[in-house]
Amino acid sequence: GAGVSQSPSNKVTEKGKDVELRCDPISGHTALYWYRQSLGQGLEFLIYFQGNSAPDKSGLPSDRFSAERTGGSVSTLTIQRTQQEDSAVYLCASSLDSQGLYGYTFGSGTRLTVV
């Protein structure tokens, strides 16, 4: 597609429920990143995919968080047993190459609210 697409744009969930956030990167972009932006905070790195593998998942805050990427394209970030502190905007970005020489394109994000 023309840009990075994320869905849903907004998600309200009850504490303890599982949620799935989807990212559809720009076609042909081999690298994909997930970030989290909490209210009034900067961007916190979560995980990086090169193709379907994740060389760096150091930013995942707990084992409740997992992500996968299939077909070198769409990625899903799953949060199990959501907690109120998981409330944030989850941003996805993709880049043409793993070095970012051509820049990184961000989606509009998924605003997650855990009640």
Partner 1 sequence: AQSVAQPEDQVNVAEGNPLTVKCTYSVSGNPYLFWYVQYPNRGLQFLLKYITGDNLVKGSYGFEAEFNKSQTSFHLKKPSALVSDSALYFCAVRSTDSWGKLQFGAGTQVVVTP
Which residues would be at the binding site for partner 1 (CB under 8 A)?
A: 4, 31, 33, 35, 41-43, 45, 48, 50, 55-56, 59, 91, 93, 98-101, 103-109
Closest CB to partner 1 among residues 3, 16: 3
Residues sharing a CB contact under 8 Å with residue 104, sequence separation 6 or more, in sequence order: 33, 93, 94, 95
Q: How far is the CB of 57 from partner 1 (least distance, A)?
A: 10
Closest CB to partner 1 among residues 80, 96: 96
Q: How far is the CB of 74 from partner 1 (least distance, A)?
A: 18
Closest CB to partner 1 among residues 51, 80: 51
Please count the CA atoms within 13 angstroms of the CA of 115 that sit on its side-chain side. 4
